[in-house]
């Protein structure tokens, strides 16, 4: 274990559940507005996971108002993330689910266990 890994290990979070691409998750984000803090929930399907260690990220996609797709990328070890809750486990065969961007309506659904 080199020096960089020792320094990074202090900042790695252990309270995050094991998530994979295709899972449906709720990400609770801490947002500070002026002098108040509030928690906003972003719920969607994990499209991709990339990186390792402290640089590990995941992208969540949800269908917003008027069938507009919204994607947001989060760092696993970010202090902005309050918690991550796994809602469902999707049945997928790929690691990157970019094909969901082109699908509309029921075709964009994933089967869940």
- CATH pick for 3-101 out of 1.10.10.10, 1.10.220.10, 2.30.30.790, 3.20.20.70: 2.30.30.790
Give the DSSP letter string of 78-100.
-TTEEEEEEEE-B--S-S--GGG
Domain ranges across the chain:
3-101
Which residues lie closer than 8 Å to 10 by C-beta, 6 or more apart? none
pLDDT band at 29; cut points 50, 70, 90: very high
Q: Take residue 106 and report the two structure tokens written for it.
A: 């029921």
pLDDT above 80 (res 1): no
Mean pLDDT of 86-93: 94
pLDDT band at 83; cut points 50, 70, 90: very high
Strands 57-63 and 81-88, how do they pair?
A: unpaired
pLDDT above 80 (res 99): yes
Question: pLDDT tens digits for 32-72?
Answer: 998 999 999 999 999 999 998 899 999 999 998 888 899 99
Length of the chain: 113
């Amino acid at each position: 274990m080199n020096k960089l890994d020792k320094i990074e290990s202090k900042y790695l979070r252990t309270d995050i559940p094991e998530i994979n691409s295709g899972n449906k998750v709720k990400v609770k984000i801490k947002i500070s507005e002026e002098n108040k803090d509030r928690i906003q929930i972003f719920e969607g399907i994990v499209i991709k996971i990339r990186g390792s260690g402290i640089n590990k990220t995941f992208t969540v996609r949800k269908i917003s108002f008027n069938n507009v797709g919204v994607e947001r990328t989060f760092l696993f070890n970010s202090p902005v993330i309050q918690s991550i809750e796994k809602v469902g486990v999707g049945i997928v065969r790929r690691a990157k689910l970019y094909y969901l961007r082109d699908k509309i309506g029921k075709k964009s659904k994933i089967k869940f266990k």
